[in-house]
Structure 1
């Protein structure tokens, strides 16, 4: 039984860690959105939430989810650029969901944001796993 659990842990470690830290990133995003949404438009609040949660996500993804080893400055720069570039892509998807959900469908800001974040976490996992934190020779 112990070996089976250990095997499952090693096999799904990155997915489980991503779900945990993705959940924390979602909490950061949601809380920042909630706070800023009280003082400015939902699009500006969403931009602040995106920026702060991406900073949090980069550190946690690099260190604890994908255990990315980047031995050179050039490799770290390439990795960070890739991470922020793909997150910028998901930012536009994020903003699009918010615009449709709030401005066109007249949904509640916080409910739309919650639904939005579930979709964005899945999208970002694929970007991170397939393109960003893969083994590099650089």
Structure 2
């Protein structure tokens, strides 16, 4: 697969992951009235699971020959996403609770940084 095709697939899957993340976040904040930070944490966890499956299958088309390889790959992916989750949760907290921005605007702004970081980590660390 060409690098251009991979990036296009990543952007599409990343967009879907962001959509899952933001929709869950908005639903929990606006419909269920769950605290912003708790809603953000839960929505990110759901998005991480969605992202692993879709990136593995559709973007990087990574194959594992045994369960140990799969576990190693999943651990790297989840660990990297937990790291970027800190950036996301901290960024949303800063933008919404400290600066006073709208919840969805703050969430979308952090998604740009997270999307780029996650691609680089997935490409060069997880699915290499």
State the SS of the aligned residue for 2:106.
Answer: helix
Structure 1's unaligned 5+ residue stretches are 1-8
The higher radius of gyration belongs to 1
Deviation at 1:48, TM superposition (A): 1.1
Aligned residue in 2 for 1:133: 127
Structure 2 unaligned spans of 5+: none
Q: Equivalent residue of 1:40, what SS?
A: coil
Equivalent residue, structure 2, for 1:5: none
Query: Which segment is superposed worse, 112-121 or 77-86?
Result: 112-121
Kindly tell me the number of residue pairs found equivalent between the two proteins.
Answer: 126
1:3 match: none
Q: Quote the residue 2:87 is aligned against.
A: 93
Give deviations 1:65-122, integer Å, cap 9, x for gaps. Answer: 0010111111000000000000000010101101110111100001111111111111
TM-score in terms of structure 1 length:
0.88
Question: What is the CA-CA distance between 1:10 and the residue it aligns to?
Answer: 2.5
TM-score relative to the length of structure 2: 0.95
CA RMSD of aligned residues (A): 1.0
